[in-house]
Amino acid sequence: IKRVTTRTVQEMKIRGEKVSMLTAYDYSLATIVDDAGVDIILVGDSASNVMAGHETTLPITLDQMIYHAASVVRAAKRALVVVDLPFGSYQGNSKEALNSAIRIMKEAGAHAVKIEGGIEIAESVTRILAAGIPVMGHLGLTPQSIYKFGTYTVRAKEEAEAQKLREDAAKLQELGCFGVVLEKIPALLAEEVTESLSIPTIGIGAGQHCDGQVLVIHDMLGINKGFKPRFLRQYASLYDVMNDAIKNYVADVKSADFPNEKEQY
């Protein structure tokens, strides 16, 4: 199998082939995602929510991200593995940002990092890229800034924020990012940014004109029962499938139906 690289996704944009991206945080799920042909596996800091049960992405640490990333890298035979720099691991200064990115590449064996923000993080992006580490940007609803936003609703509906996003996207491309995630912004703005850039845009709640799409795997598989925002298409209801299976197991144990003669030594 031929590995997807940052070049491959650039070529996809030129060909007009959409880029598929999904999150994964552990070996078993990442194996399924990779076997299914997903182009990019994102080890997102959404692990803080779906794996650790935190309310936001802020608490997850660099060490914890490296643990998740190393597990995913061991599973990914074809996909490009991109890993989020977690909150607090890059905002301080660009040398700290580079150190964090190096740890992710070295200790987890990742292929690229993703960082939230635009012009504010230009120095960090430059330094990381100078070390030969590919960087993906992330604009729009950047969940590490949730306490600044105060809400998870759509970003950049007002012209001032839309204009800032256009400038940030152009800047990230100019610095040398190989792609940029656009999260929860109007489809029209995402279309405009997508057309203005030569690097691929990967949307989540950013409409059909992005060059690719990303979802959190627990959301799209219906493992998170309650979470159903408008942008989410749910491809399975694994909560119900797993819940039924486990209830059957409990019932079989209680009734002494499991194990039977064939299931013992």
Which residue lies nearer to Na ion by CB, 44 or 117?
44
Annotation says 183 is catalytic: yes
Q: Which stretch binds ligand KIV (CB under 6 A): 42-50, 105-113, 156-164, 249-257?
A: 42-50
Which of 46, 100, 213, 224: binder of ligand KIV (CB under 6 A)?
A: 46
- Tokens 């074809």 correspond to 78
Question: Residues 56-95 vs Na ion: string with x where CB under 5 A?
Answer: ----------------------------x-----------
Q: Consult the annotation and say whether 95 binds a ligand.
A: no
> 120, 158, 183, 261: which is the annotated catalytic residue?
183
Answer yes or no: are the C-beta atoms of 124 and 90 closer than 8 Å.
Answer: yes
Listed ranges 41-49, 64-72, 213-221, 231-239: which one lies at the site for Na ion (CB under 5 A): 41-49
- As separate numbers, helices (DSSP H) first and strands (DSSP E) second, the chain gives 11, 8
Within 186-205, which residues bind ligand KIV (CB under 6 A)? 204
Residue whose CB is less far from ligand KIV, 27 or 152: 152
Q: d(Cα 178, Cα 193) in Å, to the nearest integer?
A: 15
Does residue 116 have a known ligand-binding role? yes
Please give the distance of CA 263 from its chain centroid, rounded to a whole number.
41
Choose which of 214, 220, 221, 223 interacts with ligand KIV (CB under 6 A): 214
Those residues with Cβ within 8 angstroms of residue 183's Cβ, 6 or more apart along the chain or in another chain: 138, 139, 140, 141, 142, 143, 155, 203, 204, 205, 206
Site for ligand KIV in 83-142 (CB under 6 A): 84
Q: Per rule CB under 6 A, is residue 168 in the interface with ligand KIV?
A: no
Report, in Å, the least distance between residue 181 CB and Na ion: 8
Tell which residue, 182, 43, 28, 56, has the closest CA to residue 105.
43
CA distance 66 to 144: 18
Identity of residue 39? D
Instruction: Give dist(CA 183, CA 168) in Å, integer.
Output: 14
Which of ligand KIV, Na ion, none has residue 204 at its interface (CB below 5 to 8 Å by kind)? ligand KIV
Q: Please give the Cα distance from 230 to 251 (Å, whole number).
A: 37
Strand boundaries in the chain, DSSP class E? 19-23, 40-43, 80-84, 112-116, 135-140, 179-183, 201-204, 212-215
Q: Which of 12, 44, 101, 134 binds ligand KIV (CB under 6 A)?
A: 44
Q: Which is nearer to Na ion, 183 or 260 (CB)?
A: 183
45 annotated ligand binder: yes
By CB under 6 A, tell whether 206 contacts ligand KIV. no
DSSP one-letter code for 207: -
Write out the binding residues.
Answer: 45-46, 84, 114, 116
As annotated, the active-site residues are 183
Residues at the contact surface with ligand KIV, assessed by CB under 6 A: 23, 42, 44-46, 84, 181, 183, 204, 214, 216
